[in-house]
């Protein structure tokens, strides 16, 4: 592929975008995004949009242009007009809007040219064919000057005139074909030509007979109109590009006769639905691919290909459109062309990042407009780094003296003056915070990081390579020598993960001379005290009311007291701004600070190696002045600050903070802290940073007041409460929370409480999922040690942790430790749990894995044979846990030399549909191993079996399993309505109660529940698994009568099947309601148990046959009817298939809106799902009148009564 045109640099803001591309359908947007040369959404911080703009945008590069892709919520002129108007708000510099997509075309132009499907039409102008008056017998369009849409502007007309020339059209067509050929390499775009056989044009008067059927299904056999282009082209046709008027309206044109009349009257060559809406808002061109002939024989077969030809033509067109300003040059290869060139390339599996095509600026702070002076320091740093070529330089100085602000100033200088340099910023306060930033870099830069590879290593390798280009890195707050040199978690400190390259420059900021020497050797710049003139200038810039600065004596006195320390000056100025007092008044407040308080605070030590007491006193005193005022006037803000003192000071998500009574109170509290300079917000993100000295002072003050332990426990409880599970969809959230969780776990030492163990459990699991095995081991070992000291050996929490720790040991290669602990866990579980208890089976399975890793294959086989035998009794054939155990057993057989048994085991796993191909692949691999086993050294099955993917368990009850020897019966108990939270029944209590009562009733002292488990999706529901129907009835009766009042026995699980072509009169009565006796009748006719029936087809359309869903009581019966393919209704048989529930719209459970984002991504105020009021969760709601946010109805926002969330129930 030829070298692409130079690309533009990343826009500074939304005002730098000049091209908007508007698409009405997702398939149209897919085609455009596939042609992006670069995605700005994936490179740096998002550009977002203006408040009040509801549009959705994607930003990127096409050729020489930064473009914004606008995703319309629906088709039509009205939607297009609204989208264009709002787009103006967020992107005010748009010079050209391109409406791109598919359209219907007029097959023959006045000049005789043919337009065939797949051709592209570019608008000369727009005609609103449906704007006019409906008169008796005719429709008259409005064509007055005020009603007609204007012609394109001179720039657009000039470009179109150029493209209509012979050479221009040749170039445009050639480039379109080039981009279209590239798109065909992506199988997800379906950009291949559907074939001339599918391009059928009927005479305009021949109408399609049945609207809901295709021409083949409806038997359309009218006379076809011959086209010379199709007859001469053979099997493939090159798309042609046509220029002309486009007819735009709000209705879909599906009439050949009306098409020809409108085309004849206005000389239109195509019909579309969005151009007229955009035309009045932006200079506009419509570029659309022909997907039908605007007649009644419409088909969607051509839509994907037509969208691809339109997108390819759009990219070609933009190569002729000249940007209004000179663009920076992009790297030699665009992302799009790289994707195409790599389609058939084999990868070596090594972690190798794509070349850094263009410099990036990844700094989490805005430029400090209040920065003053320090020019001498900046000059020396620039000289060391960029003139003398020192790769690593350290800036060392007192905390609060301005090191971070100088580094920030230098970072922006590099951005503006060294435009070939990328700029990165890494915090070094803790290893967790450093690792979090490395993960962000991996994602932002597109660094290839294989599963299990350390993100820190991946970043180091990438920045150390030539592919990274030139870069400048700031390692900020490297104050702790222990963290910098070595770490108890990782076996290496931050220093071990820093890149080294002739193309890279690194600046360290630190309070530690020891760290400075280790990092930069002799290239050390010691930051001196700020000059008095610079301090005065900083004070002037920081104060809103500058009248008091005329009192030079007071100013001088204040700066002397503050020792010209920038942090102290900033805090003092923030106080004076908030409370509107003069410099002289602040000095009086400053001097009134309790000397004893300050002394005790200072005695705690600020850990500076280059400190001097007067400066420490300045920071502490300004902090005490402000904090004391906040404590007296805004206690909520003081509580938040105290909370933050016990977590990481950088990257604090708003969602991790303790909830206050109302959202307004939270906003005011955060505003108070930012106003006093205690917190700074990262742009528009809901993320905050606190200066390390403010963080330290707050923590030391709490400890001095005797509140340290209490605040630690409060902080621990909050983080334990909000920390997410290790589900993959929570990954971004847990990565934000991990540095803070690890900090509070470390600072609470060996404190033994439930919250610490709960948090440690989930932190350990998340670390393990993230591949941070050593940290996972360390975290889990600490909480396991606590549990072993404080709980009995059969305590559920202790067993859960002791089950999890060996998994981490195995991942870390500590096999002996894993085996030893798991053997103890399994022995205890075998004493206290039934043999089919899921926890017991899980621990036995992991122990068997450990045996295999320890080469104890005989033990592994015996244990896995037992697990598989139990799982066969209690789990469906396609249950994922059963499949995993069978796969593991097959591997154990192979490792033990029992190759035939290994192959037979997988052959016995009957998996339908989507798993068949995977199973066949695995069987072929096993057979290959078996064939080659005698020719060489025996291979371990682990390399094969552990790579076998399995599908997540489908909660749908449609066809949960193939026919079983017995159906699994559950008695489900809901305990959420018990009056006292503490009285809620645990699974153990329920098991004991039920077993005692059933033993007495059956006179069987050894009877035990088959299994009692908590519902993983609802902790207030407990499920008792029963062996047969008689046992099921006894357990239900006991549960209803013997458990605590308020416990509810839920209805039995039902298994729906869909029945098509069912007799309407057999199911519905004369009022179109489902007959009362229908369940009994259908059960009798089909010899099964029917629980309920719902009619799916529209009831107001009197068709003789329709569709229904039948809910059966047994899973095996549902499978039987689907396999047999019929179901009797009124002595007539309907056809059966699996019932697929209509997916409900996605809903955010924070704002309760129907939207694409999830609760943890939501930046809106929390809204109660019950009363629709802001500021509290529905579990804490005291309201009595429910209200639904999505539909406005008198019920909860998550209720099945909502017509928008559950439309099927209301049809």
548 Cα distance to chain centroid: 51
Task: Report phi then psi at 940, rounded to 5.
Answer: -80, 140
Instruction: Provide mean pLDDT across the span 130-135.
Output: 62
In this predicted structure, the answer to whether residue 302 has a pLDDT above a threshold of 60 is yes
Taking CA atoms, 540 is separated from 52, 543, 622, in Å, by: 36, 6, 17
In this predicted structure, the answer to whether residue 468 has a pLDDT above a threshold of 80 is yes
Helix (H) or strand (E) holding 1055, with range, is: strand 1055-1063
Superfamily assignment of 855-945 in CATH? Tetratricopeptide repeat domain (1.25.40.10)
Instruction: Provide mean pLDDT across the span 1150-1162.
Output: 80
What is the per-residue pLDDT for 810?
A: 85
Which of 1078, 1077, 1079, 1075 has its CA nearest to residue 1090?
A: 1079
Contact status, residue 108 vs residue 124, Cβ threshold 8 Å = no
Name residue 1132's beta-bridge partners: 1129
User: Which CATH class, in words, describes the domain spanning 361-526?
Assistant: alpha beta
- Would you state the structure tokens that stand for residue 798, as one six-digit string? 């202790």
Task: Report phi then psi at 911, rounded to 5.
Answer: -115, 130
What topology does CATH give the domain 14-318?
Answer: Rossmann fold (3.40.50)
Q: Which residues contact 743 (CB under 8 A, 6 or more apart)?
A: 430, 432, 646, 647, 648
Q: Can you give 56-116 as a three-state secondary structure string?
A: EEEEEEECCEEEEEEECCCCCHHHHHHHHHHHHHHCCCCCEEEEEEEEEECCECCCCCECC
613 band by pLDDT with thresholds 50, 70 and 90? very low
* Lowest pLDDT segment from 486-495, 913-922, 1141-1150: 913-922
Tokens 């995004």 locate to: 33
Local structure of 801: helix, strand or coil: helix
985 band by pLDDT with thresholds 50, 70 and 90? low
Count Cβ atoms below 10 Å from residue 1033 Cβ, excluding itself.
Answer: 13
Contact status, residue 157 vs residue 151, Cβ threshold 8 Å = yes
Report pLDDT digits (tens) over 663-713. 778 888 888 887 767 787 876 678 888 876 677 778 877 777 778 788 888
Instruction: Count, in order, helices (H) and strands (E) of the chain.
Output: 42, 29
User: Judging by DSSP bridges, how do beta strands 1105-1112 and 1055-1063 pair with one another?
Assistant: antiparallel
What is the per-residue pLDDT for 315?
A: 94
- Would you state the structure tokens that stand for residue 573, as one six-digit string? 């100025």
Tokens 């390339």 locate to: 345
In this predicted structure, the answer to whether residue 331 has a pLDDT above a threshold of 60 is no
Taking CA atoms, 711 is separated from 634, 641, 647, 1131, in Å, by: 18, 11, 11, 73
Ramachandran sector of residue 912 (left: φ over 0; alpha: ψ -120 to 50; beta: rest): beta
Same fold, 14-318 and 1055-1138: no
618 band by pLDDT with thresholds 50, 70 and 90? low
Report pLDDT digits (tens) over 263-284. 887 788 999 989 888 887 888 9
What is the per-residue pLDDT for 20?
A: 95
Q: CA angle, 724 as apex, 844 and 848 as ends, to 5°?
A: 10
User: Which CATH class, in words, describes the domain spanning 1055-1138?
Assistant: alpha beta
Cα separation of 559 and 907, whole Å? 83
In this predicted structure, the answer to whether residue 59 has a pLDDT above a threshold of 90 is yes
Which of 357, 347, 522 has its CA nearest to residue 450?
A: 347
Q: What percent of the chain has pLDDT over 90?
A: 11
Cα separation of 482 and 492, whole Å? 10
Instruction: Provide mean pLDDT across the span 403-411.
Output: 89
622 Cα distance to chain centroid: 42
634 vs 868 pLDDT, higher one: 868
- Would you state the structure tokens that stand for residue 1114, as one six-digit string? 């047994």
Cα separation of 5 and 334, whole Å? 9
Which of 238, 355, 279, 226 has its CA nearest to residue 99?
A: 279
Which of 704, 252, 444 has its CA nearest to residue 436?
A: 444
What is the per-residue pLDDT for 693?
A: 65
Contact status, residue 118 vs residue 304, Cβ threshold 8 Å = no
Name residue 506's beta-bridge partners: 392, 473
What is the per-residue pLDDT for 452?
A: 57
* Lowest pLDDT segment from 122-126, 137-141, 928-932, 1120-1124: 928-932
What is the per-residue pLDDT for 132?
A: 60
Which of 568, 277, 648, 333 has its CA nearest to residue 467?
A: 333
127 Cα distance to chain centroid: 42
Q: Which residues contact 833 (CB under 8 A, 6 or more apart)?
A: 839, 840
Q: What percent of the chain has pLDDT over 70?
A: 81
Which of 454, 457, 505, 509 has its CA nearest to residue 484?
A: 509
Instruction: Provide mean pLDDT across the span 165-189.
Output: 86
204 vs 153 pLDDT, higher one: 153
Q: Is the dihedral of CA 9, 11, 17, 19 positive or negative?
A: positive
- Distance, first Cα to last Cα, the chain: 54
In this predicted structure, the answer to whether residue 145 has a pLDDT above a threshold of 90 is no
Report pLDDT digits (tens) over 5-35. 457 888 888 888 999 999 999 999 999 999 9
Instruction: Provide mean pLDDT across the span 937-959.
Output: 33
Instruction: Provide mean pLDDT across the span 191-209.
Output: 80
Which of 812, 651, 811 has its CA nearest to residue 733?
A: 651
What is the per-residue pLDDT for 943?
A: 38
625 band by pLDDT with thresholds 50, 70 and 90? low
143 band by pLDDT with thresholds 50, 70 and 90? low
Cα separation of 303 and 310, whole Å? 11
Sheet of 1090-1095, strand order: 1090-1095, 1105-1112, 1055-1063, 1132-1138, 1126-1129
Cα separation of 839 and 833, whole Å? 8
CA dihedral 47, 52, 56, 58 (to 10 degrees): -20
Name residue 22's beta-bridge partners: 70, 99
774 vs 337 pLDDT, higher one: 774
For residues 427-440, one letter each, b for 16 or more C-beta atoms within 10 angstroms of the residue's C-beta and e for the rest, the string is bbbbbbbbbbbbbb
1090 Cα distance to chain centroid: 41
Report pLDDT digits (tens) over 754-780. 788 888 899 999 888 887 888 888 889
The domain segmentation of the chain, as residue ranges, is: 14-318, 361-526, 532-705, 855-945, 969-1047, 1055-1138, 1150-1211
Contact status, residue 1029 vs residue 971, Cβ threshold 8 Å = no
- Of 218-222, 326-330, 554-558, which one has max mean pLDDT? 554-558
Q: CA angle, 416 as apex, 415 and 419 as ends, to 5°?
A: 65
- Would you state the structure tokens that stand for residue 954, as one six-digit string? 């489908």
Cα separation of 1164 and 1173, whole Å? 13
349 vs 483 pLDDT, higher one: 483
Which of 1109, 1106, 1111 has its CA nearest to residue 1092?
A: 1111
In this predicted structure, the answer to whether residue 182 has a pLDDT above a threshold of 90 is no
Which of 408, 383, 380 has its CA nearest to residue 477?
A: 408
967 band by pLDDT with thresholds 50, 70 and 90? low
Cα separation of 1177 and 1075, whole Å? 42
Cα separation of 708 and 699, whole Å? 7
Helix (H) or strand (E) holding 19, with range, is: strand 19-23
Cα separation of 815 and 243, whole Å? 72
What is the per-residue pLDDT for 532?
A: 83
Count Cβ atoms below 10 Å from residue 149 Cβ, excluding itself.
Answer: 16
What is the per-residue pLDDT for 276?
A: 85
Cα separation of 143 and 128, whole Å? 9
How much is the mean pLDDT over the chain?
A: 78
Cα separation of 303 and 191, whole Å? 9
What is the per-residue pLDDT for 77?
A: 85
Cα separation of 883 and 876, whole Å? 10
């Amino acid at each position: 592929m030829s070298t692409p045109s130079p690309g533009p640099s990343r826009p500074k803001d939304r005002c730098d975008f000049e091209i908007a591309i508007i698409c009405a359908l997702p398939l149209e947007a897919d085609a455009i995004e596939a042609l992006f040369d670069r995605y700005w959404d994936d490179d740096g911080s998002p550009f977002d949009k203006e408040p009040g703009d509801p549009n959705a945008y994607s930003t990127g590069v096409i050729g020489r242009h930064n473009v914004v892709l606008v995703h319309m919520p629906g088709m039509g002129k009205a939607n297009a007009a609204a989208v264009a108007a709002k787009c103006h708000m967020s992107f005010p510099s748009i010079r050209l809007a391109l409406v791109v997509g598919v359209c219907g075309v007029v097959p023959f132009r006045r000049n005789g040219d043919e337009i065939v499907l797949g051709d592209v039409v570019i608008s000369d102008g727009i005609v609103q064919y449906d704007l006019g008056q409906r008169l008796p017998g005719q429709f008259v369009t409005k064509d007055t000057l005020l009603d007609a849409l204007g012609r394109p502007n001179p720039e657009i007309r000039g470009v179109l005139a150029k493209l209509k020339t012979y050479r221009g059209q040749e170039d445009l067509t050639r480039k379109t074909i080039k981009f279209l050929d590239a798109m065909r390499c992506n199988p997800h775009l379906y950009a291949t030509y559907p074939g001339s056989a599918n391009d059928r044009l009927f005479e305009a008067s021949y109408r399609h007979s049945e609207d809901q059927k295709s021409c083949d299904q409806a038997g359309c056999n009218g006379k076809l109109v011959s086209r010379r282009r199709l007859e001469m082209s053979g099997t493939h046709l090159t798309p042609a590009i046509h220029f002309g008027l486009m007819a735009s309206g709000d209705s879909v044109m599906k009439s050949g006769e009306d098409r020809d009349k409108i085309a004849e009257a206005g000389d239109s060559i195509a019909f579309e639905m969005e151009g007229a809406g955009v035309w009045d808002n932006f200079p506009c061109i419509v570029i659309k691919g022909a997907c039908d002939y605007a007649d009644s024989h419409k088909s969607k077969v051509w839509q994907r290909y037509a969208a691809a030809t339109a997108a390819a033509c759009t990219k070609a067109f933009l190569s002729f459109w000249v940007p209004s300003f000179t663009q920076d040059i992009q790297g030699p290869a665009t992302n799009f062309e790289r994707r195409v060139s790599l389609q058939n390339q084999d990868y070596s599996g090594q972690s190798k990042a794509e070349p850094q095509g263009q410099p990036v600026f990844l700094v989490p702070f805005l430029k400090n407009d209040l920065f003053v002076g320090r020019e001498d320091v900046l000059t020396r740093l620039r000289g060391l780094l960029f003139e003398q070529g020192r790769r690593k330089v350290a800036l060392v100085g007192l905390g609060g003296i301005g090191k971070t602000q100088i580094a920030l100033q230098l970072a922006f200088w590099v951005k503006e003056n060294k435009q070939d340099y990328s700029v990165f910023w890494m915090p070094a306060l803790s290893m967790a915070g450093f690792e979090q930033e490395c993960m962000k870099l991996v994602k932002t830069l597109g660094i290839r990081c294989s599963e299990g590879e350390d993100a820190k290593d991946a970043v180091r390798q990438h920045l150390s390579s030539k592919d990274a280009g030139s870069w400048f890195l700031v390692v900020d707050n490297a104050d702790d020598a222990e963290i910098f040199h070595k770490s108890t978690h990782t076996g290496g400190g931050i220093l071990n993960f820093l890149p080294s390259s002739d193309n890279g420059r690194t600046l360290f900021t630190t309070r530690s001379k020891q760290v400075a020497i280790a990092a930069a050797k002799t290239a050390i710049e010691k930051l001196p005290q700020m000059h008095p003139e610079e301090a005065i200038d900083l004070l002037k810039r920081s104060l809103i009311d500058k009248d008091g600065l005329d009192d030079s004596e007071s100013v001088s006195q204040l700066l002397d007291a503050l020792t010209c320390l920038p942090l102290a000056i900033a805090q003092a100025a923030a106080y004076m701004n908030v409370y509107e007092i003069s410099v002289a008044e602040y000095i009086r407040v400053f001097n009134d600070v309790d000397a004893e308080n300050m002394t005790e605070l200072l005695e705690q030590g600020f850990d500076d190696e280059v400190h001097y007491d007067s400066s420490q006193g300045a920071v502490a005193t300004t902090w005490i002045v402000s904090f004391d005022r906040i404590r007296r006037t805004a206690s909520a803000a003081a509580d938040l600050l105290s909370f933050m003192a016990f977590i990481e000071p950088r990257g604090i998500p708003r969602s991790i903070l303790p909830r206050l009574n109302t959202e307004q109170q939270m906003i005011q509290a955060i505003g108070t802290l930012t106003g006093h300079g205690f917190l700074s917000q990262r742009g528009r993100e809901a993320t905050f940073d606190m200066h390390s000295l403010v963080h330290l002072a707050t923590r030391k003050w709490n400890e001095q007041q005797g509140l340290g332990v209490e605040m630690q426990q409060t902080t621990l409880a909050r983080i334990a409460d909000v920390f997410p599970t290790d589900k993959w969809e929570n990954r971004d959230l847990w990565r934000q929370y991990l540095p803070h969780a690890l900090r509070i776990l470390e600072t609470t030492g060996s404190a033994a409480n439930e919250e610490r163990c709960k948090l440690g459990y989930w932190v350990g699991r998340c670390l393990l999922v993230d591949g941070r095995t050593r940290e996972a081991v360390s975290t889990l070992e600490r909480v396991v040690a606590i549990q072993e000291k404080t709980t009995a050996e059969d305590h559920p929490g202790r067993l859960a942790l002791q089950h999890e720790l060996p998994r981490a040991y195995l991942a870390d290669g500590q096999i002996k430790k894993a085996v030893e602990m798991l053997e103890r866990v399994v022995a205890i579980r075998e004493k206290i749990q039934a043999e089919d208890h899921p926890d017991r089976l899980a621990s036995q399975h992991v122990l068997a894995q450990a045996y295999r890793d320890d080469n104890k294959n005989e033990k592994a086989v015996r244990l896995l044979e037992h697990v598989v035998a139990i799982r066969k009794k209690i789990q469906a054939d396609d249950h994922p846990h059963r499949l995993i155990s069978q796969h593991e057993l097959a591997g154990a057989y192979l490792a033990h030399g029992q190759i035939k048994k290994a192959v037979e085991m997988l052959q016995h796993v009957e998996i339908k549909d989507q798993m068949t191909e995977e199973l066949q692949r695995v069987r072929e691999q096993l057979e290959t191993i078996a064939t080659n086993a005698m020719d060489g050294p025996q291979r371990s099955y682990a390399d094969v079996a552990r790579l076998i993917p399995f599908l997540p368990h489908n909660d749908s009850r449609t066809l949960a399993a193939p026919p079983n020897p017995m159906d699994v019966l559950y008695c489900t108990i809901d305990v959420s309505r018990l009056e006292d939270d503490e009285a809620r029944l645990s699974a153990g209590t329920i098991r004991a109660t039920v077993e005692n009562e059933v033993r007495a009733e059956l006179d069987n002292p050894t009877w035990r529940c088959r299994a009692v488990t908590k519902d993983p999706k609802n902790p207030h529901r407990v499920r008792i698994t029963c062996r047969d129907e008689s046992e099921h009835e006894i357990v239900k009766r006991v549960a209803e009568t013997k458990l605590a009042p308020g416990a509810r026995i839920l209805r039995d699980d039902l298994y729906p099947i869909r029945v098509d072509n069912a007799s309407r009169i057999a199911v519905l009565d004369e009022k179109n309601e489902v007959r009362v006796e229908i369940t009994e009748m259908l059960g009798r006719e089909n010899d099964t148990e029917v629980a309920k029936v719902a009619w799916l087809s529209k009831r107001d359309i009197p068709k003789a046959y329709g569709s229904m869903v039948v809910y059966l009581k047994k899973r095996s019966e549902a499978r039987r009817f689907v396999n047999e393919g019929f179901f009797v209704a009124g002595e007539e048989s309907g056809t059966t298939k699996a019932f697929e529930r209509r997916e409900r719209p996605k809903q955010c459970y924070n704002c309760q809106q129907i939207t694409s984002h999830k609760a943890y991504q939501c930046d809106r105020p929390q809204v109660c799902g019950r009363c629709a009021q802001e500021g509290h969760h529905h579990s804490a709601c005291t309201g009595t009148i429910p209200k639904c946010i999505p539909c406005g109805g008198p019920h909860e926002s998550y209720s099945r009564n909502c017509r928008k969330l559950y439309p099927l129930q209301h049809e």
